[in-house]
Amino acid sequence: MNPTYHAISLSMLCIALVLSSCSKQDSVLDQFEDKLVIDATLEVGKTISDIHAHSLLGMGNEEDISNLEIVISNCSHSVVLTEDPKNKGHYYGPEDFVISPLMEYSIKTNYKDAEITASSTSPPEMEALQTSKEFIEADIQGDLVFLTWSALNTGSFKEYFYIVELVPLDEDAEMIMRFSGSEQKSTVVSFNPELTLSIDDFNFYGDHLIKVYAMSNTYEHLFTPQTNITDNGPTNIDGAYGYFIASSVIETTLEIR
Amino acid sequence: GGEEDENLVLWDGFTLYHLDHFFGVFSTLNPAVIQDINLMNGPFSSRYGARSGGVLEVNGRSGNKLHPRTLIDADLIDVGLLTEGPIGEKTSYLVSFRRSHTDFIRTGFYDELLDRLFSQSVSADPESLVNEEVESDYFYDDLNIKLSHEIGEKDRLSFSLFNGGDSFERNSLYTYETQGSPFQYNDIFDDDSEWGNTGLGLTWTRNASPDKQLYTSLGYSKYSSRYEFSDTQRDFFNGIPIPEKTMTDIDENSVEDITFHHQQTHSMKSNGTLEFGYQFTLLDVENRFLENSSSNNSEVQADTSNVSIQNSLYAERRLAYGENWKLRLGGRLSTNSFNEKLYFEPRLRVDHMISPQWNLHFATGYYIQQIRRVAEQNLFLRQSDRWALSDGDSIPISKSFHSSFGLSWSSSPLTISAEVFYKDLKGVILNQEQNRLLSAFTAENEGISSGDGMVAGLDLLTTYAKGSHSAWLAYSYSFSANSLEDVNDGEEFPSAFNKPHDLKLVYNYRMRDYTVHSQLTASSGYPFTPLLGFFEGPGGDTFLVYGDDLSGRLPSQFRWDMSVSRSFTYKSSTLSLGLGVFNLTDHQNIKNRTYSINQVRDEAPEELKISTIDLELIGISPTFSISLDFR
């Protein structure tokens, strides 16, 4: 074989071998900045008890985000939230900053050089029209649970919908067996001031805290399962994911037997 | 740099719509029956239409006209039989059949292939999974028949048949038991998938005179894929069976193509040749989707059939100016019954010989394509592609304008060539659901976006052939930028098949009875759409967050195959024994990446984990082959 061509053949082989050594494994996630998620629900008449800041879930690198300067403002005041020293990534407001009805609140923070903002207007306070009535009336008949809060000022809530949260209170409650879902709490959406629940809507037997939140209709899409997987999940926060919702809330307790 | 469906694949006068077995691992084109392959990856002649990218024209081999021959071969995947010979003085036959023995003999090679392709297709096992039983059966086969007959001295008639198909069945049983729960969940999944292409071609060529050649062909081709999936939930409460629930999905896609083609080539007294012809094509594309669920008695059904008749006239003039210049100028006029528009596709090529060693060429042309292949979610066990006819709306007609400029140097035994190319693309489509979450079926044309794009690049090729040695080294650089209004806010992103760097080195050495073959490929990885994670809404719903479409890039690919074979000849028969290794360095080559979310029926949302599903190509695999050639 001609030495020149022999050299060419060997050179080709060497080039290919060198190229093969360049095939390092790229970490795809390194190409993208971490995304912040904020879970924030404000409740009329209450202080800010828990705003949770964390990274996206599901990829095995979830973490709570500490040391954020989170500012909550309304038209006249601004407060900086304090991080719970025992619960990293969870922030609370000062005792004297109580959420007022029908007021616009905004949240502002910075994370990795990005400004994160959101705003939400609080609903009216949920008030009983007849002082003799319970805020939430609950009636259990067989496997059905009838809830109603129509005795409140629900006429002021025509542009709102309701989220009913069923939170078990017993530490070692017996689980209600069913096909899907084993979360501690369960959530049901209602567009009327009443709701009929099945026993299957509760995950456990025993005492439950039933909370009814009134929220603006503009947040309805945040309670709708994602059907189009080509879209990113819905959020009302600019620069981050999650939700920032001001709500009115009433609550009662109920024992499921 | 374009999409795979932009290439026209012709086999003896009919079009092939599917080219591989085993989800892309093996080719359906049996090299033992191929006479020659003509690859046109740049601006191609007016003779060809219906595609906006390139042309791969395969001419099947005619049977041996002198004496009969039988070839039997086997390796760790398939066995093959080829027989050919004369029938009288003017007719010859060739029949070749290959079939994988994977459903009879489970070789380690097959298991390795299967593991690579499917083991990672199942999301991470949840803690409650206590039993898993999986069985699968897979086979492929292909049949080639060619009859050639000479009618007098001027006419030749040939009939060609191709039939290639794959079949995959997978049955799996998953049993879940959550601690402290009286429930036992049993999921029984049955997957049944079949796909393939059948083609028939009748070709008549006539040398009417030294100055006039006629070519007439009638071709029929049918591609079909069918996937049936059922999930039966057979659960127990304290050992007592709960009424069974079954969900069934059926997904079918088929293309029928009937093409008549007549062409005449005339040598002109003045200069060069004139080639003109007529082509008629009837395309019938059907999509059928059925989902049936016994738990809520729901049924979803979609059944569409679209027919398009395409008529094309073309003409091409080939001229020579002196010994150093050649010109090819032509055009193609076509119309289709789907939108009844008239399209004109001009084509031009200029070749110039600078010196006996140096040549350059420039070519340009305009191309349109009505039939498109929509890439869907890459659900394992089924073909992830679906052919569809452009409807001018959600799936536009693809239009492209190609230009290329090339320079080559040749001095035996070495040839070096370089070509730069540019393609302007209209009607680029992207199915945003491709490479996203692995889930159930998607409705037809849902998630498809369209827009414009461009591809530019450089191809370098060096070939060497002398004595016992032959080698070629090819390198391609391509830059692809598509822009779709509703994808990534209109920002540019690459084609789903774009690999900026692609290098291939092939070396063959023949010495007496020994043959050594080495093939090495190295390339960039394919783009993919990353899933960054999910967050939970205020009601506990899970919402997924994606990165920009096709903004991620899979790891680079590298594969080195080597084989050695030895032939033993006894009288007129030859025995060949071969040993080889695929992917010598065992590099992990990922074909594509999708995701799934662990959705076991009793898992709580906060426990959901996203699983990355990488479909890997073949790992290091030794192989052995044997063939017997009787003459």
DSSP secondary structure letters along A213-244 = EEEEGGGGGGGS----TTSPPP-S-BTSEEEE
Taking the Cβ of residue B484 and every Cβ of chain A, the question of whether any pair is shorter than 8 Å is answered with no
pLDDT digits (tens, 9 = 90+) for B363-379: 999 999 999 988 765 54
> CA separation (Å) from B282 to B304, B308, B420?
17, 6, 35
Q: Per-residue confidence at B599, pLDDT binned at 50, 70, 90? A: low
Task: Find the closest chain A residue to B607 by CA distance.
Answer: A58
Picking from A5, A29, A183, the nearest residue to B606 by CB comes out as A183
- Using a pLDDT cut of 90, give the percent of chain B over it: 56
Q: Per-residue confidence at B455, pLDDT binned at 50, 70, 90? A: very high
A77 or B293, which is more confident? A77
Provide, as residue numbers in chain A, all residues whose Cβ is less than 8 Å from the Cβ of B467. Answer: 1
Interface of A with B in 45-104 (CB under 8 A): 55-60, 62
Taking the Cβ of residue B520 and every Cβ of chain A, the question of whether any pair is shorter than 8 Å is answered with yes
Instruction: Say yes or no for a CB contact (<8 Å) between A58 and B533.
Output: yes
Residues A112, A240 contacting (CB under 8 angstroms): no
Q: Is residue A2 part of a domain?
A: no
What is the residue whose two structure tokens read 């094509």?
A: B281
A-B Cβ pairs (cutoff 8 Å, strict): 173
Residue span of the structural domain in which B55 resides: 4-630
Q: Per-residue confidence at A213, pLDDT binned at 50, 70, 90? A: very high
Question: How far apart are the C-alpha atoms of B385 and B376, rounded to whole Å?
Answer: 6
Which tokens sit at B31? 């090299």
Q: The CATH number of the domain where A94 resides is what?
A: 2.60.40.10
pLDDT digits (tens, 9 = 90+) for A176-206: 554 444 456 778 888 988 888 887 777 777 8
Exposed e or buried b per residue across B498-513, where buried means at least 16 C-beta atoms within 10 angstroms of its C-beta: bbbebbbbbbebeeee
Structure confidence at residue B593 (pLDDT): 81
Q: What is the DSSP letter of B271?
A: S
Question: How far apart are the C-alpha atoms of B335 and B338, rounded to whole Å?
Answer: 9
Report the gap between the CA of B460 and the closest CA in chain A (Å).
13
Taking the Cβ of residue A1 and every Cβ of chain B, the question of whether any pair is shorter than 8 Å is answered with yes
Number of domains chain B is built from: 1
| DSSP β-bridge partners for residue A121 | A104
Q: Per-residue confidence at B1, pLDDT binned at 50, 70, 90? A: low
Interface of A with B in 204-243 (CB under 8 A): 219, 222-226, 228-230, 232-235, 241-243
Instruction: Report the candidate in A78, A107, A92 with the shortest Cα–Cα distance to residue A246.
Output: A107
Instruction: Report the candidate in B608, B614, B623, B618 with the shortest Cα–Cα distance to residue B586.
Output: B618
Picking from A16, A181, A233, the nearest residue to B545 by CB comes out as A233
Task: Find the closest chain B residue to A245 by CA distance.
Answer: B538
The pLDDT of A116-123, averaged and rounded, is 96
Q: Choose the mutation target among A6, A11, A15, A20 for the interface with B, i.e. most B CBs under 10 Å.
A: A20
B220 or B387, which is more confident? B220
Which tokens sit at A5? 């061509």
For the cut 70, the answer to whether the pLDDT of residue A133 exceeds it is no
Q: Is residue A119 part of a domain?
A: yes
Average the pLDDT over each of B264-273, B377-386, B581-590 and give the range with the smallest value: B377-386
Instruction: Say yes or no for a CB contact (<8 Å) between A57 and B534.
Output: yes
Average the pLDDT over each of B103-117, B433-447, B528-542, B606-620 and give the range with the smallest value: B433-447
What DSSP string describes A113-164? TEEEEEEEE--PPP-BSSTTS-SSEEEEETTEEEEE-TTBSGGGGTTEEEEE
Q: Per-residue confidence at A20, pLDDT binned at 50, 70, 90? A: very low
Taking the Cβ of residue B240 and every Cβ of chain A, the question of whether any pair is shorter than 8 Å is answered with no
The pLDDT of B43-57, averaged and rounded, is 93
For the cut 50, the answer to whether the pLDDT of residue B30 exceeds it is yes
A187 or B203, which is more confident? B203
Structure confidence at residue B414 (pLDDT): 95
Provide, as residue numbers in chain B, all residues whose Cβ is less than 8 Å from the Cβ of A241. Answer: 535, 543, 545
Structure confidence at residue B439 (pLDDT): 53
Q: The CATH number of the domain where B500 resides is what?
A: 2.40.170.20
Most confident listed range (A49-63, B365-379, B428-442): A49-63
Structure confidence at residue A33 (pLDDT): 57
Average the pLDDT over each of A138-142, A173-177, B218-222, B606-610 and give the range with the smallest value: A173-177
Structure confidence at residue B489 (pLDDT): 85
Question: How far apart are the C-alpha atoms of B59 and B148, rounded to whole Å?
Answer: 13
Residue span of the structural domain in which A168 resides: 10-256
Residues A52, A90 contacting (CB under 8 angstroms): yes
Instruction: Say yes or no for a CB contact (<8 Å) between B538 and A39.
Output: yes
Q: Is residue A3 part of a domain?
A: no
Which tokens sit at B63? 């049977």
Q: Is residue A187 part of a domain?
A: yes
Q: Per-residue confidence at B380, pLDDT binned at 50, 70, 90? A: low
What DSSP string describes A72-85? EE-SS-EEE-EE-T
Q: Per-residue confidence at B35, pLDDT binned at 50, 70, 90? A: very high
B125 or B221, which is more confident? B221
Question: How far apart are the C-alpha atoms of A200 and A210, rounded to whole Å?
Answer: 15
For the cut 50, the answer to whether the pLDDT of residue B605 exceeds it is no
B109 or B141, which is more confident? B141
For the cut 80, the answer to whether the pLDDT of residue B479 exceeds it is yes
Spatial neighbors of B473 by CB under 8 A, at least 6 apart, are A12, A15, B461, B462, B503, B504, B505, B506
Structure confidence at residue A11 (pLDDT): 56
Which tokens sit at B55? 């042309």
Structure confidence at residue A30 (pLDDT): 47
Instruction: Report the candidate in A27, A54, A60 with the shortest Cα–Cα distance to residue B611.
Output: A60
For the cut 60, the answer to whether the pLDDT of residue A27 exceeds it is no
Q: Mean pLDDT score of chain A, rounded to an integer?
A: 81
Q: Mean pLDDT score of chain B, rounded to an integer?
A: 88
Q: Dmax of chain B from CA atoms?
A: 93
Number of domains chain A is built from: 1
Structure confidence at residue B92 (pLDDT): 97
The pLDDT of B462-475, averaged and rounded, is 95
